Amino acid sequence: MDFFFGLLQIIGVHTLLGLSAYVVLQTGQVTLAQAGFFSIGAYVSAMLTVLAGWHIIPALLVSATLAGIVAGIVGFPALRIKGLMLVVATIAFGEFIRLFWFNFDYQIEKQGISVGPQGGEGFKQIRFFPENGWSTLDVAIFIWVIVALVMLALWWTDRSRAGAVLRAVGEDELAAQSVGINLTAVKVGAFAAGGFIAGIGGAIYAHYTTHIEHLNFGVMLATFAIAYPILGGLRNVFGTLVAVIFIQGILVEGLRFMGDWRNLLFGALIVLAMNIQPRGLIDERSVKLVRGLFTRDRRN
Amino acid sequence: MDWLDFFQSITDGLLFGSIYALIGIGFTLIFGVMHKINLAYGAASIAGAYVSIAVAAYVPLPALVTFLIAAIGSGAIAFLIYLANFRFIPLASPLATLMATVGMLILIDEIVVHATDGMPQPYPALFADIYIEWGDFGLRGDLIFIFVLSLIAMVVLMFMLYRTRLGIATRAVAQQPVAAQLAGISLDRTNALTFVITGLLGGLAGAMIGASVGVLSPLLVVPITVKGLIVCVIGGLGSIPGAIIAGLAVGAFENFFLAFRGVTERDMYVMLLLFVFLVFRPGGIFSRSVARD
């Protein structure tokens, strides 16, 4: 049973990662820096619980806020550039943060052993959950409560004026600007919100794996972050969730019996999915199709 | 800091930077013609070099022919990438193309891992035994060979772009696709050929990386992709001379920091260089003024 709870934890954390990119993608910006913000959440929260002895909830909030602030600062230069330039700039920024942790060395003595992030060796012994007697199920519930809160907040934002503003900027910046939308505020806000959510995800990730190192936060993780919302579709938050379950639950875990061939199929399926459904798995067409199955009135 | 070390590291970096220049040209050409990014390009380059090793394992070949086979292999892979990721995905969904090329990158990477069991493969070097000495200052023969070969490749590319029908068609499509079509140029064919050309360049670069590093490994793919993108942005999107200069500059810059700050910090400074450019010269080296919209 622990295996399934573990899988639930992974899906939860990756959903947070995907949602963090979802917010930024809604404003029409492609970001590959999410792995960097994720790593800020991971390292900072782990330092707070291990070195400073905090409880996980304040550590999570503080580290996520810090990730959000850093993301907002990145958002400013990002205002001047878009398209490919932004993709490259955010890749570079994400890599910069990763390399920062690669060179970051800070240990203190605790009960006879030195703990703390140790450059290329990574940060070991993040033992908040086992020390406080949380079972795998408790951790899974904790993660999903947070995921549910974040999804609810985003779902509500989507349906409110703020969501309309985000989408307006994403569809056509010039038109959005000419109806009086402050582009700077919207873009920086979206980056900061995305960084905050990625920070929460990173903080949880650090605590359930108990060992983090810089290699966990490379370009591949960043591409997964944007892969979820793009594969799932930007229509609503559930697209991201569906894509995470599809990739982590079915492709990564479900195909384990195929061994080595699984990874080959993984790349091929992404290519195929994008050829068949270029606007994501949950787009206007598939929503209409599912609705048609449940209602008599085929006109909507 | 010693002046001799300074010049030595800069020179080695400049020579190695010609590889970055080739990769940067590939990204820039595709962006210029299709206004899209092909993130699978670095993977195709390395895969081309792997194809040449596979062929060389069956037939003993001179090293120069291995390079050519790498270029041809990568050209073929680039054509497949065009078919799988660009041909059938509508122009209106750029995110889908981006994602599909990421899928392709993973696919190519995993095929290579699968075929080699993830083991790094030795790659033949050319002129590795030559070492030109000039006092304490020296030049590695294999790096000089790489530099000369990429210069030849660049000259051939420039000739092709400015003097042949295909090159003129490519530039026409890059400038104004609709007008090019009205003039009787097939968009599909031109795009596909551009992909093949970038693939040829990439395969050459992949073989050079193998030759100068000594081994090929799938781990090279992501760093090469990131460096190529950085070169392409510093040089200015769509600018081939920009990509060449930026490639050499990035090579020299990173080798300088490799010599003086160590391998773990090297890439941080390259990223910082990119940021300086994005903030002060977002249009790249050759931009006239800051573009506004």
- Region at B284 (left for phi over 0; alpha for psi -120 to 50; beta for the rest): left
* Angstroms from A83 CA to nearest CA on chain B: 9
Q: Which residues of B touch A33 (CB under 8 A)?
A: none
B262 touches chain A (CB under 8 A): no
What chain A residue is nearest to B27 in terms of C-alpha separation? Answer: A84
With CB atoms and an 8 Å threshold, state whether A91 touches B99: no
Q: Measure CA of the first residue to CA of the last residue in chain B; give whole Å.
A: 45
Average pLDDT for A119-141: 84
Q: What is the pLDDT of residue B37?
A: 85
pLDDT in tens, B19-75: 999 999 999 998 888 888 889 999 999 999 999 988 988 888 887 888 899 999 999
pLDDT at A298 over 60: no
CB B19 within 8 A of CB B146: yes
Q: What is the pLDDT of residue A111?
A: 76
Q: Measure CA of the first residue to CA of the last residue in chain A; give whole Å.
A: 42
With CB atoms and an 8 Å threshold, state whether A80 touches B232: no
pLDDT at A296 over 80: no
Residue A186 carries which side chain, given as an amino acid letter?
A: V
Run of H or E including B215: strand B215-216
Q: Which residues of A touch B225 (CB under 8 A)?
A: 219
A100 touches chain B (CB under 8 A): yes
Identify the band that residue B292 occupies on the pLDDT scale cut at 50, 70 and 90: very low
What does the alpha-carbon distance between residue B148 and residue B144 come to, in Å, rounded to a whole number?
6
Where in chain A are the domains?
2-234
What chain B residue is nearest to A102 in terms of C-alpha separation? Answer: B264
pLDDT at B290 over 60: no
With CB atoms and an 8 Å threshold, state whether A89 touches B275: yes
Q: What is the CA radius of gyration of chain A?
A: 20
Q: What is the pLDDT of residue A206?
A: 92
pLDDT at A236 over 60: yes
Q: Which residues of A touch B102 (CB under 8 A)?
A: 223, 227, 270
Cβ neighbours of B10 (radius 10 Å):
17
What does the alpha-carbon distance between residue B188 and residue A14 come to, in Å, rounded to a whole number?
38
Q: Which residues of B touch A85 (CB under 8 A)?
A: 233, 237, 278, 282
Percent residues over pLDDT 90 in chain B = 30
pLDDT at A289 over 70: yes
What chain A residue is nearest to B235 in terms of C-alpha separation? Answer: A85
With CB atoms and an 8 Å threshold, state whether A274 touches B97: yes
CATH number for the segment(s) B3-280: 1.10.3470
Angle at A23 between CA A17 and CA A25, to 5 degrees: 100
Q: How far is CA A190 from CA A30, A154, A186, A262, in A?
A: 12, 12, 6, 35
Burial class (CB in 10 A: 0-12, 13-18, 19+), B37: buried
What chain B residue is nearest to A234 in terms of C-alpha separation? Answer: B95
Q: Which residues of B touch A100 (CB under 8 A)?
A: 268
Closest CA to B218 of A264, A217, A91, A227: A264
Q: What is the pLDDT of residue B289?
A: 52
Average pLDDT for B4-9: 84
ipTM of the complex: 0.81
With CB atoms and an 8 Å threshold, state whether A231 touches B99: yes
What does the alpha-carbon distance between residue A292 and residue B1 come to, in Å, rounded to a whole number?
73
pLDDT at A300 over 50: no
pLDDT in tens, B247-285: 999 999 999 888 888 887 888 888 888 888 887 777 777
pLDDT in tens, B118-158: 788 888 877 767 777 777 777 887 888 888 989 999 999 99
CA B162 to chain centre: 20
Best mutation target among B29, B34, B225, B271 (most A Cβ atoms within 10 Å) is B271
B89 touches chain A (CB under 8 A): yes
Give every CB contact of residue B287 below 8 A, 6+ residues apart in sequence. B236, B281
Which is higher by pLDDT, A1 or A232?
A232
Average pLDDT for A194-223: 90
3-state secondary structure of A220: helix
Best mutation target among B105, B268, B270, B289 (most A Cβ atoms within 10 Å) is B268
Mean pLDDT of all residues belonging to chain A: 86
Average pLDDT for A131-158: 90
Identify the band that residue A297 occupies on the pLDDT scale cut at 50, 70 and 90: low
* Angstroms from B103 CA to nearest CA on chain A: 4
Q: Which residues of A touch B93 (CB under 8 A)?
A: 278-279
Q: What is the pLDDT of residue B288?
A: 58
**Ordered alpha helix ranges (H), chain B:** 3-34, 41-58, 63-81, 94-116, 141-163, 165-175, 177-182, 187-213, 221-234, 240-261, 263-280
Q: What is the pLDDT of residue B291?
A: 47
With CB atoms and an 8 Å threshold, state whether B107 touches A81: no
A88 touches chain B (CB under 8 A): yes
CB B249 within 8 A of CB B272: no
A281 touches chain B (CB under 8 A): no
Which is higher by pLDDT, A223 or A79?
A223
A242 touches chain B (CB under 8 A): no
With CB atoms and an 8 Å threshold, state whether A85 touches B237: yes
The secondary structure of B154-213 as a DSSP string is HHHHHHHHHHSHHHHHHHHHHH-HHHHHHTT--HHHHHHHHHHHHHHHHHHHHHHHHHHH
Which is higher by pLDDT, B4 or B10?
B10
pLDDT at B293 over 50: no
Q: What is the pLDDT of residue A167?
A: 87
Residue B165 carries which side chain, given as an amino acid letter?
A: R
Identify the band that residue B211 occupies on the pLDDT scale cut at 50, 70 and 90: confident
A108 touches chain B (CB under 8 A): no
The secondary structure of A253-282 as a DSSP string is IITGGGTTHHHHHHHHHHHHHHHH-TT-SS
pLDDT at A44 over 90: yes
With CB atoms and an 8 Å threshold, state whether B275 touches A77: yes
3-state helix, strand, coil in chain A (%, to 5): 75, 5, 20
* Angstroms from B104 CA to nearest CA on chain A: 6
